[in-house]
Structure 1
Amino acid sequence: MGETLRYGIIGAGMMGREHVRNIALIPGSVVTALSDPDEGSRAESARAVGGDVAVFADHRDLLERGEIDVVLIASPNDTHKRILDDVFQAPKALGILVEKPICTSIEDVGALAKAARDHRAPIWVAMEYRYMPPVQELLREVRAGTVGALRMLSIREHRFPFLPKVGDWNRFSRRTGGTLVEKCCHFFDLMRLVARDEPVRVYASGAMDVNHRDERYGGETPDILDNAFVTVDFRSGARAMLDLCMFSEGAYWQEEIAATGDRGRVECFVPGPARFWPGGSERHSEIEISPREPKGPTRRRVEVDETLLRAGDHHGSTFYQHSKFREAVLDGAPVEVTLEDGLKAVAIGLAAELSAREHRVVEIDGLGFR
């Protein structure tokens, strides 16, 4: 773990800079190159890195000339597949940390699974929500048997609308995969992780009721959902539900996750980013344990270092994710969020988008659906 891990970042926008800030907190990890077609993003991210960093407009130049050990892909969703294809063809087998969603179409799900088979370095899909300390606490309780046999999982995210992005790419489903892919693949990944099970069917209801309705980009109107309910049935008979609202930034808790089994319930509560809250102060997260017997819930804070909270918008998780990724690359530790995990989360999200659009149940079939 004493080695230096050199990062090349492809996609130097808002999320790329969150990664820059968190990499800077890990001794022996350094950003040595970055690329982005947008000049403003390149300049701002280069300032965030500081020191000596090679800057490129084209990611292919970074892959050819950047002195890097790993590549981090934080570009717009619809570019991930093309960039990954180029990384797979690079002269050196680079470790890969790719932001969610790893792709945006069911065709790309199959193509990426095939293309990655011969890649010899770790491929890690960035599912930051797994590594939020309160979510890790909930997972520990579920694994310890606190809830007994899991039967129900409820995830609520009530938050602020999508933020402005360069080129307004996140306003259109053809580029994001749709809100239930772009935003919610995190939650479908958590469902599989907590349940340790695979989905068999998805049904969703959603709409664009409040946000972006009066916006126009090149004469086009945004088409992304801003609220939805999604139910996922699992092979074991357990079921999970997502309640998403993206015009509820006034809620104290941004995420509320409840796992319920035949012995009790465990629930965690996560506040949103401090920069969007009055006063800009950080807020603690909490976890509550509610056994069926003896009755009487217990609730406690989950402490997180404020330096980590201020390094990004994901409640400290980006730091922990990078620490784990470093161990996978340098020490051969297991990849905890695999390519398969990322592809399955996309497949569930695409199935949910289809269900909401066509008002029908969608059956999951392997990595595809029908």
Structure 2
Amino acid sequence: MPKPYPREFRDDVVAVARRGETPLKQVAKDFGISESCLANWLRAADVEDGARPGVTREESAELRELRKRNRLLEQENEVLRKAAAYLAQGNLPKIAFPLVRELAAAGAPVRVPVAVTCRVLGFSRQAYYQWCSAPVSQRDWDDAQLINAALEIHADDPADASENRVWRICSMQQIFSLHAKKKGQPKKAGPPVHDDLVRRDFTADAPNTKWLTDITEHPTGEGKLYLCAVKDCYSNKIVGYSIASHMRASLAVSALRNAISLRDPHGVVVHSDRGAQFRSAAYQRLLRSHGLTGSMGRVGACGDNAAMESFFSLLQKNVLDTRRWRTREELRLAIVSWIETKYHRKRRQRGLGKLTPVEFETIYTTASAA
């Protein structure tokens, strides 16, 4: 069963089709989908806009959220019901750790995740897992020994073992407690998350072996619009992209996830610069979960990702700098239309033997099948 198209891609296709500048048959052809698929997307969009009866995405999401919230409330009530005795003792969190383990057990009547119990009772999961690995820590042993020593001293002379006496004895033995703040150090660029596996070689022998990615921005009347694109070095095709009004890590994650959904790759080298978006934990998790290999260029070396910069230069000349863009949506549709209809299917490239990216990949697919 083929994978569904990314939601962002579907919304862009519907927006272009609704403009009415191109027949629906041609729109479907330009974006590489069937007419029936486009018709289904348009009907679903009509339901979302209230033009047709049906359950919208928002209503479905709200129903799922209500069910999730109801399940969470049941879990929280179970935690509070069983924790009444623990809360009355007022000695959290360690005394409540066995309760966390009991509620998370597989055989519990209402199984409550560790994160939920810890949040309701007001302590961290890290503290619970540390207790699981070492119920009695070295610090607890040391504290117990100090308490026993203090009790012995106090029992020996309860009247004179005052705070001043303890301080005087510690001072005589040169025992002091030091609390000092570390001086701030200037921040330096950290090491790359990945090595440079591309080394300015932007060629590939087959699709889905080497991808490039980067982020560009352009101003509009409403503020800046950011594009993160993923380019296949074999055919120069943009295999995934995401457009938003911000450049947080989620923008890079969404672009890569869209590329993965459309191409279903394995073992691809994904090359980028050392931007925070590509160094983020979410981006690294996405790479690992799909078996992709990360690669990063040097700091301040634009040539290490020159092929991606070349695409952005074309976009700048053909779309971004052609006029002043009033709204983000207006520029977004212009970018999507240029990538899907012009760059992919009409613009011939010398490096591809005067073929378009779609034609070049079609020839490879046909040859591989043969």
TM-score (norm 1): 0.22
Q: Which has the higher strand share?
A: 1
Which protein has the bigger helix share? 2
Task: Determine which structure has greater relative contact order: mean sequence separation of CA pairs < 8 Å that are 6+ residues apart, divided by chain length.
Answer: 1
> Which protein shows a greater Rg?
2
